[in-house]
Amino acid sequence: MLSCPALLISAPASGQGKTSVTAAIARSARRRGWRVRVFKTGPDYLDPMVLERASGHVVYQLDLFMGGLDHCRGLLAEAARDADLILVEGVMGLFDGKPSSADLAAAFDLPVLVVLDASAMAQTFAALATGMARFRTDIHVAGVVANRIGSDAHARMVGEGLPDELPLIAALKRDATLSLPERHLGLVQALELPGLDQQLDRWADAWDAAEASAPATGRLLQAGGTPETSDLPKARDTSKNADVSKTEGLSKGGGVTETGGRGPLFGSQGRNLAAGRQPKEGHGEKGPPGACLALGEGGEDGVGSRGTGTGNGDSRTDGILDRPLQGRRIAIAKDACFSFIYPANIDLLKQLGAEVLTFSPIHGEDLPTCDALWLPGGYPELHAEVLRAHPRLFNDLRAHLHADRPLLAECGGMLALLDLLTDGEGQAHPMAGLMPGQAALQPRLAALGLQSIDWPEGELRGHTFHYSTMSTPLAPIAAARNPNAGRAAEALYAQGSLRASYIHHYFPSNPYAVASFFGGTAAPRLQPISPTTP
């Protein structure tokens, strides 16, 4: 089996500090020489950018809807082989959505650390934390973090009512200088923050200071320690041929350690550091927090442990074994304007055999010679003038479509192809004019939610999240479904070799459909683009 310390960090709602705490733990462990792998639950691009900088490793999504159980298992199994610590940041509140962060924790027996914004409460903190810990019996809340406390006395108050089996792991003091700037879609992108590394070190310093007040036997990361000397059992692959279905860690009392037993995640004794309680003997009624994630090698899919399961957990791998995109050059716009890219999407394209080429339109780079093109989402409204000023970009896009080469445009990538885009300040910008219509930013959220949509080649899954509205005379060829019965149900448009939608697609949800489209074998041919410049 594969065994690695793992922890899911969640909260009762968004805005509690999950990303900050996850990044602080990751950075602190990395500074000690630990190999840290971080995952993000649910659809998100901005938080993973920060977590990647904190951990020094690419951050993948773990989403039971978009990727499926087998796909998530494969990602975790791969991380368990190489890491000393796995951290998973949850999405929204612990129990929000279907599937929720709690569902993921239950599926892989991940112990949960709950982060609570304690800035406007005292003893009620314990009531909320206890309620979350006891709401579902199939997950184990191993501890809580009090975020944004005002003083040491405040820390003692928030911890007073916690039961012994629910320790207060850290109490982090309120400090406005530790906040990161935000804009309408969330955090400002990591690549736009020149001082991010210094900020991450400050977060890690704050975490280390909180741990320094804990007894030596009750710390998540031993001060100055290593994976070998910490209370966390080290990762080890004890069986290269382990059966995933038998080792995925579904015993609810905790994960399996390298010795086959359950290990404490936060030390060998229960504690409540901020309330000043003395450690008690034993581990409480529920037993010690589970510390290790036990996983197999991933599915037998021929492409490694990352897997390529569909959203419903099935596996479609014949096309990958055949490498249907072998010899195809796929260009991807990638910069501060076009940045909403799942790493798993690029991995899949390469596994399908494609040569992936990235270019930066806002830095004046030309579209590379390619067989297919992907314009991902991002912030065209912030870079509209720069895009328009590019001497060749829009004409190159037009020539690409006129040559009947596939182009997938998602959300911001789609907006860049319209006739007109009006930014948040009310300024209208002429765009590429390759898709009829116009869009405008608005202060109110326009759409948010998971999406499932039927491409001509099969179902793909993903999500939508935008503040713009769009009008186009094109008739959609498909409409999405929302698994949580939300109002968001995005359209899919096709014109010639162009396919466009507000949906951010998760390619591993259907490798066959992705290979068919980018391979140029199945794109609808409707209203070809004129070669003339508008």
| CA nearest to 24, candidates 38, 42, 41 | 38
Tokens 């960090």 found at? 9
Q: Are 38 and 164 in contact (CB under 8 A)?
A: no
Question: In Å, what is the CA distance from 68 to each residue of 74, 478, 486, 506?
Answer: 10, 23, 20, 11
Task: Show the tokens assigned to 232.
Answer: 């966390």
Q: Which of 4, 292, 337, 411 is catalytic?
A: 411
**Close Cβ partners of 251 (under 8 Å, ≥ 6 residues apart):** 109
- Measure CA of the first residue to CA of the last residue in the chain; give whole Å: 61
In contact, 370 and 329? CB cutoff 8 Å: yes
Q: What φ, ψ does residue 133 adopt, rounded to 5°?
A: -65, -30
Is 256 buried (19+), middle (13-18) or exposed (0-12) by CB count in 10 A? buried
How many C-alpha atoms does 482 have within 13 Å on its Cβ side?
17
- For residues 447 and 490, the answer to whether their CB atoms sit within 8 Å is yes
Task: Please check whether residue 3 is in contact with residue 292, taking contact to mean a CB–CB distance below 8 angstroms.
Answer: yes
Query: Which residues are CB-contacts of 183 (< 8 A; sequence separation ≥ 6)?
Result: none
DSSP bridge partners of 358: 332
Q: How far apart are CA 124 and CA 132, in angstroms?
A: 13
DSSP line for 279-325: PPSS--TT-SPP-EEEE-S--S-SS-TT--B-TTS-B--HHHHH-TT
Q: Is 292 a catalytic residue?
A: no
CA distance 80 to 297: 9
For residue 289, cis peptide bond before it (omega within 30 degrees of 0): no
The b-or-e profile of 84-119 (16+ CB within 10 A means b, else e) is: bbbbbbbbbbbbbbebbbbbbbbbbbbbbbbbbbbe
Residues marked active site are found at 411
